[in-house]
Copies of this chain bind each other. A is one copy, B any other.
Amino acid sequence: MLPELREKFAQIVGEANALSAPDMIESYLTEPRELFGGLTPLVLRPATREEVAAIMKLANETGTAIVPQGGNTGLVGGQQPDRSGTQVIVSLSRLNKIRNIDISANQITVEAGVILQNVQQAAEEVERLFPLSLGAEGSCQIGGNLSTNAGGTGVIAYGNARELCMGLEVVLPDGRILDDLRTVKKDNTGYNLTNLFIGAEGTLGIITAAVMKLFPRPRGKAVAYVGLKTPAEALKLFTLAQDKAGSMLTGFELIASLAMAATLIHNSQIRSPFDGGASAHEWFVLLDISSTRSDEEARNLMEEILGQAWEEEIIDDAVLAANRGQEKDFWTLREQISPAQKIYGAEIKQDISVPIPSIPDFIREANADVEKMLPGCRIVCFGHMGDGNLHYDIAQAEGDDSQEFLSHWKEVSHHVHALSMRYRGSFSAEHGVGQLKREDLVYFKSPVAVDLMRSFKRLLDPKGIMNPGKML
């Protein structure tokens, strides 16, 4: 990068926020799975949308590629530059103001760099719920959540990031600012622009602010761990729970014995709700019910569901959390699967979704295929069954060579993705496309859809400077 150009970019944000020293930029270049290490000549940290706009204007004039970055927690490389050393990172961290909270309208207007947990806390302080919740919530940012249409555990009752967003403010690749910060639910005035930028992974512009929905805080809760024989029983339980609880069903997580075992082995302080630990049953379900009124209401409903499931011989055992502490423990047992999985060695990971009724068939078919492809492998299957979303991870056989095992990633992953697509599911449920699944996108999406996406990209970013090499 020419010194004069670096100087011009630095002038926009001030020298203190234009980072080039290796030790200063290292954290921007290291991503969670260490699969996509890139290089950058410059990390810019603008503090206002006007500064972001000035950066994009200069980038557009000079043909400089820009990689927008939030909390840098993405799992598909969408927030990382390539290895050319020419792509400038624009970190949104300093756009971290909560512009407005309106409790009567149940809305919060936040800048892109606000950390997810801080949005949750701001909502809590005014007795409201901001339901987006995921593992990385302590460091991921709302702009990144929107750019990737983040999912997580609250989706079953409240929807993805997309459903929680009323409107956006976006800096376009040419530096213009689009103010689409709508605050009303009903607004039929032209094409919906906001939804094109949500989930676009920063390839069409930079989200700088958003109006997000808030919800009444549930006053009551009931959480139960259930043991059952197969995903088919889990599906029956889901249908029953949804029928009885409707929108009060706020969590339905499916967990294979091997996934639960990982947490229990990896975290000796976490106890199993069941005698016999993870081997007590083949499959488990974590059920979460919320009430706007009282614990009693949530608990009664839970007992009604479990009672009927018991009578109909859908479930083999169930433990209801006795207090808030145990409720938290039950969720921890689920949430710790991801970090605990590594005890099984190398893993080939898939984030897929299929229509909920197809989950038992999908798992049966995928297991049979994968066990044939990778004899002795251990399938660590778990996920948000209530959203049709499975983390279908495959660990190496005990004692096998990790590198040899990982050399099958492409072939196995493609096979699992193809199976999810046969069920009219998705090869990327909540993590996005980024760099990891670009080939899948072209392979699995219809040519008409891919052509439309490319047309939109060319239209908004004719110079191809906006997060190049991602998604398309």
Contact = CB atoms under 8 A, between A and B. Distances in A.
Contacts of A444: 189
Interface in A366-421: 384, 387-389
A184 interface: yes
Contacts of A61: none
B192 A199 contact: yes
Interface in A415-452: 424-433, 437, 440-441, 444-446, 448-450, 452
A170 to B, nearest CB: 9
Interface in A95-139: 102, 104-107
A275 interface: no
A331 to B, nearest CB: 20
Given A192-B195, A245-B292, A357 B105 contact: yes
A429 B184 contact: yes
A96 to B, nearest CB: 23
Given A448-B178, A448-B179, A449-B178, A155 B189 contact: no
Q: Determine the interface band of chain A, counting residues with CB < 8 A from chain B.
A: 35 or more
Given A216-B243, A248-B292, A184 B424 contact: yes
Given A105-B355, A449-B190, A387 B292 contact: no
Residue from the set A387, A452, A459 with the largest chain B CB neighbour count within 10 Å: A452
Interface string A275-313: 000000000000000001100000001000000000000
Copies of this protein chain in the complex: 2
A239 B104 contact: yes
B190 A196 contact: no
Interface string A308-327: 00000000000000000000
A183 interface: yes
B433 A184 contact: no
B179 A215 contact: no
A244 interface: yes
Given A192-B199, A455-B459, 7 more contacts: A104-B239, A159-B185, A163-B163, A178-B446, A184-B424, A188-B431, A215-B246
